[in-house]
C-alpha cells in the first residue's frame, strides 16, 4: 500500500504516480477528469485504487476486472478502518500499521511450477 505520508519511500512512489497524472492533465486537459487508475507497459499492468488516506497498486499480467477493483476498494476500506487512528496521526513508519497482511492476502497467488 502506498500512503499519503511524510515517509520518503511512500512519498517517492506517490510522487511518481502524481507526476504521471499531471502529465495526463497537462497533455489532455482537465476533461479527462478523475485520477490515475492504472498504467500499462507491455503485458504488465499497474492497477491503482485509492482510499481516503492510502492507495493500493497491484502489478498484474493480463486483464483487470470489475470484481478485482471492487476487492481492491474493499481491502482499502478494511485497512483504513483497522488503522483509522494511526492514519490520522501517522508519521511515516510502516511498522505502525497493522492488518496489512489480512487486507492484502487475497491478492497474492502462489504460482505452481510446471
pLDDT tens digits, one per residue of 11-28? 565 577 777 777 777 777
φ/ψ region of 66 (left if φ > 0, alpha if ψ in -120 to 50, else beta) reads alpha
Q: Which residue has the higher pLDDT, 53 or 35?
A: 53
Q: With beta carbons less than 8 A apart as the criterion, state whether 98 and 83 touch.
A: yes
Mean pLDDT of 71-85: 94
Q: With beta carbons less than 8 A apart as the criterion, state whether 14 and 2 touch.
A: yes
**Quick one: pLDDT at residue 73?**
95
**19-28, 75-84, 96-105: least confident range:** 19-28
Q: Any idea where the domains of the chain sit in the sequence? A: 2-107
Hey, what CATH topology would domain 2-107 get?
Answer: Beta-Lactamase (3.30.450)
Amino acid at each position: 500500500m502506498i500512503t499519503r505520508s511524510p515517509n520518503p519511500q511512500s512519498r517517492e512512489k506517490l510522487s511518481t504516480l502524481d507526476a504521471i497524472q499531471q502529465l495526463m492533465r497537462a497533455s489532455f486537459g482537465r476533461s479527462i477528469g478523475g485520477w490515475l487508475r492504472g498504467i500499462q507497459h507491455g503485458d504488465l499492468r499497474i492497477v491503482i485504487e485509492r482510499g481516503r488516506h492510502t492507495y493500493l497498486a497491484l502489478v498484474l499480467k493480463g486483464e483487470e476486472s470489475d470484481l478485482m477493483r471492487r476487492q481492491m476498494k474493499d481491502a482499502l476500506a478494511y485497512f483504513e478502518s483497522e488503522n483509522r487512528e494511526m492514519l490520522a496521526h501517522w508519521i511515516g513508519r510502516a511498522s505502525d500499521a497493522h492488518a496489512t497482511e489480512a487486507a492484502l492476502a487475497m491478492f497474492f497467488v502462489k504460482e505452481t511450477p510446471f
